[in-house]
Amino acid sequence: MRIEGAVPSQADVDAIVALVAKVQEVQGNEDVDGFISLFRKDAVWVTGHGKRLYGRDTIEAFTREVLPGAMKDSSATYEPDHLLFVRPDIAVVNVNQTYVERGGTTGSYGSPVYFLARDGSDWEIAAAQNTVVVEAD
């Protein structure tokens, strides 16, 4: 993973990598409450299909509709690729997302970007764009 910007502590890098791992875990387990706990109250989420969701309550309502049952035929891995510290308390992380079908066959790909803010010692998602990667033939 490439790290740029303001010089981070190793604890901050580790916390952000752990947050991305938590996204993978809670989505894979279809844990709506766990997923919502990762967001700031005023967060903005843009889905892979471009739907804009403003605020944790709206993100929660949407997630409660779409996450349960979403992982019955597949799972996804999340690997941090690039981490930019804009300021010591603001970071942007690009993630490589790979969908894996139940037979182990790699499916499609995503390229989420998470804008993270640290209040105190905890990093939270302030804004995110979950982009589906379209491969050109």
pLDDT, tens digit (0-9, with 9 covering 90-100), for 95-108: 999 988 877 767 78
% pLDDT > 90, the chain: 66
pLDDT, tens digit (0-9, with 9 covering 90-100), for 21-71: 999 999 999 999 999 999 999 999 999 889 999 999 999 999 999 988 888
**pLDDT at site 121:** 83
CATH of domain 2-132: 3.10.450.50
What sign for the dihedral angle of Cα 123, 126, 127, 132?
positive
Q: Please determine, for residue 114, whether its predicted confidence score (pLDDT) is greater than 90.
A: yes
Tell me the average pLDDT of the chain: 91
Please tell me the pTM assigned to this model. Answer: 0.89
